Amino acid sequence: DAGVTQSPTHLIKTRGQQVTLRCSPKSGHDTVSWYQQALGQGPQFIFQYYEEEERQRGNFPDRFSGHQFPNYSSELNVNALLLGDSALYLCASSLRGYHEQYFGPGTRLTVT
């Protein structure tokens, strides 16, 4: 049973560029959440997708957007990258209505 997968593993971008990160949920899960983890900090909730719609959003600007596909996989897009966007981006999947979220290994984004 494949767990949550994310791609790419690492990414280096320049300020002002745009980036797309991808996530495939654990088999049987229908809900995907995205978190940003700055170095030395706990993960911060960005948003959650269910039934291809954004259901809840954390305190992140509109530069952060996402999408969920019919197969439940998801993308996180960040526009106009800032140096402060450098972080580990974690995807978590769950089954709607259940507490447990399973995390992927993350994508390390470095903005220079």
Residues forming the site for other proteins (CB under 8 A): 4, 31, 33, 35, 40-45, 48, 50, 55-56, 58, 90, 92, 94, 96-106
Rounded Cα distance between 64 and 81, Å, is 10
Question: Is 83 in a helix, a strand, or coil?
Answer: helix
Minimum Å distance from CB 53 to other proteins?
11
Tokens coding 36: 């940003």
Cβ-based nearer residue to other proteins, 18 or 41: 41
The three-state secondary structure class of 91 is strand
Minimum CB separation of residue 91 from other proteins in Å reads 9
Closer residue to other proteins in complex, CB, 39/83: 39
Query: Shortest gap between Cβ of 106 and other proteins (angstroms)?
Result: 5
Q: What is the DSSP letter of 85?
A: G
Q: Looking at beta carbons only, is 31 or 111 nearer to other proteins?
A: 31
Listed in sequence order, the residues at least 6 apart from 106 whose beta carbon sits closer than 8 Å to its beta carbon are: 6, 37, 88, 89, 90, 91
